Amino acid sequence: MESIKALEFFSGIGGLHFGFNASGVEGKVLESFDMNQQANEAYKLSFKKPPVSPYTRGGKLLDDQDNRAKPLLRLLDQLENMATPPTYIFLENVKNFEESRSREMMIRVLRAKGYVFRECLLTPYHFGIPNDRLRYFLMARLRSSFPQVPSTSDKDPVKQQTQQEDDVKAEKEEREEKEDREEKEEKEQEAKEDKEDSGSQGIFYTAWPFPGFVDDPTLKVEQHPFQIPTLNHFLDSEQDQQKNSVDYLLSRQLILNRPNFRFDVLQPTSTRSSCFTKSYGSHHIASGGGLLQTQNMDQTTYDFTDSESIAALGLRFLTPTEVARLHAFPLSEDRPWPSNGTAAASSASAPILDLEVNAETESSSDKEVSDGTKPEKAMPATISTTVREFSPQLLTASMANGKQAQQGPFLRFPNQLKSIQRYKLLGNSLNVWVVAELLRGVLFANHPGVPLPEESAGEEGSLVGKKRRRSDSN
């Protein structure tokens, strides 16, 4: 594969850039763009290069009527008019984007420009990290960019002659059936137009790994059984926790003043945690993310109607650094990572696992896929997508000139940035490891063959994709 040259739109604090580095794909982010100045300052510290800030912020969450959606729509317009569109497109967005008018516009543009694509709704937990942060992802690649495998019949004179005879026979049969086909196609086109007018439905994978571009997209996928590491592997050292205990402790009075107040209580042994939003660390406790229990550790069930018992748990916020680790941002630190059954191996060359997937499908011959077509024949019960076990060491293994480059870059925040501001930037970002695996395993996977599904001749469509969120950045 040639070295990738990428543009990063809505760059935030660099989640996509870090994910690109961790994917192991050779390439470079040429330029990044964002409108959040605090995010841009952090990005500059991490990558030694500030993003361009061309957009104006404003508007409410009004889908394609939101001012913040205008840059995405502008990118769609640009893509639709490009004589030479980008080979690869990756998009991340919040849950419910898959039901939006913006997505419908993107799908129409992508189809019109000749892209094949896959969509999914996944969390870091699906990739072996103890955090639930459900997001929509799209990977799109130009159909013309796939390496083709030469047919053996092209080199065999006997097979060539046989093919010519078959072609003559097929042409005759097609001519005889033309009238019937035209009538049938006319009815199918009318039904298709009615469907497109009502919105674009598709397959949204909810398990990892899922079929790549050259695989049958209707294969029934099964979630890979990762051994999820416990939360304590992402927490600060005991010394740092003691030093910061007062700063991040949840006010006892705040709990007592809010009877029957429910939220996610975490322990160091937890293997799952709720999504950390941009409101984490503020008074919006219920919707911000999980709180760590530091006292009465034998208590594992909670009566939220008993405020006194909840206040006695010694609950604290995770620090911004701990949240950053759960979001798989690379940090400049030397921390042990267990190589036993409680977590992934710490080797920078973690094994890539080949998988076989159950071939059973739900009426796969009749089921439409994301770009509105049907596979014409049964495909093998295997997928080309591979998986890697998560390891923090893999987050800094960027590639250059076919070799692993020096470690880094790392996430850095300006010293003057307060914790509440860091929480907001992290809450508006994404999970680096999820991005890395989707890029490595799907978007940039260079498997030879014809991308599936095949599109029908004359089929209209168009979808775009650049990185866009309904939130502030990323």
pLDDT tens track, the chain, 474 positions: 679 999 999 999 999 999 999 999 999 999 999 999 999 999 999 999 888 865 333 334 445 555 656 788 899 999 999 999 999 999 999 999 998 999 999 999 999 999 999 999 999 999 999 999 999 999 999 999 887 655 544 455 555 556 666 777 777 777 777 767 777 766 665 555 444 444 456 799 999 999 999 899 988 899 999 999 999 999 999 999 888 888 999 988 888 888 777 889 999 999 999 999 999 998 777 678 999 999 999 999 999 999 999 999 999 999 999 999 999 999 998 888 876 444 433 333 445 655 544 444 333 334 444 444 444 444 445 788 999 999 998 887 654 455 555 578 999 999 999 999 999 999 999 999 999 999 999 999 977 667 765 433 223 322 233 333 333 334
**Does residue 17 contact residue 29 with C-beta atoms inside 8 Å?**
yes
C-alpha dist (Å) from residue 333 to 269, 325, 397: 22, 11, 15
At 228 the pLDDT is: 96
Please report how the helices 15-22 and 37-47 are oriented relative to each other, as an axis angle in degrees rounded to 10: 30
First to last CA, the chain: 27
Q: Which two tokens stand for residue 123?
A: 């969390």
What kind and span of H or E run contains 252?
Answer: helix 252-256
In sequence order, the 6+-apart residues with CB closer than 8 A to the CB of 328 are 22, 124, 129, 390, 392, 395, 431, 432, 433, 434, 436
At 68 the pLDDT is: 56
At 376 the pLDDT is: 44
At 206 the pLDDT is: 96
Torsion angle of C-alpha atoms 53, 420, 283, 239, degrees rounded to 10: 150
At 413 the pLDDT is: 97
Query: How many whole angstroms separate alpha carbon 409 and alpha carbon 213?
Result: 31
At 465 the pLDDT is: 30
Query: How many whole angstroms separate alpha carbon 98 and alpha carbon 235?
Result: 33
Q: Name the residue among 439, 334, 326 with its Cα closest to residue 16.
A: 439
Our CA angle for 430, 93, 76, nearest 5°, is: 125
The full DSSP string for 402-452 is TEE--S-------TT--HHHHHHHHHTS--HHHHHHHIIIIIT----S--S
At 472 the pLDDT is: 37
Query: How many whole angstroms separate alpha carbon 213 and alpha carbon 447?
Result: 8
In sequence order, the 6+-apart residues with CB closer than 8 A to the CB of 332 are 408, 410, 412
At 398 the pLDDT is: 54
At 70 the pLDDT is: 79
Query: How many whole angstroms separate alpha carbon 409 and alpha carbon 396?
Result: 7
At 148 the pLDDT is: 65
At 262 the pLDDT is: 83
Query: How many whole angstroms separate alpha carbon 17 and alpha carbon 93?
Result: 16
The full DSSP string for 167-220 is HHHHHHHHHHTHHHHHHHHHHHHHHHHHHHHT-----EE-SSS---TTS-TTSP
How far is C-alpha 381 from the chain's CA centre? 24
Q: Which two tokens stand for residue 8?
A: 């990063």
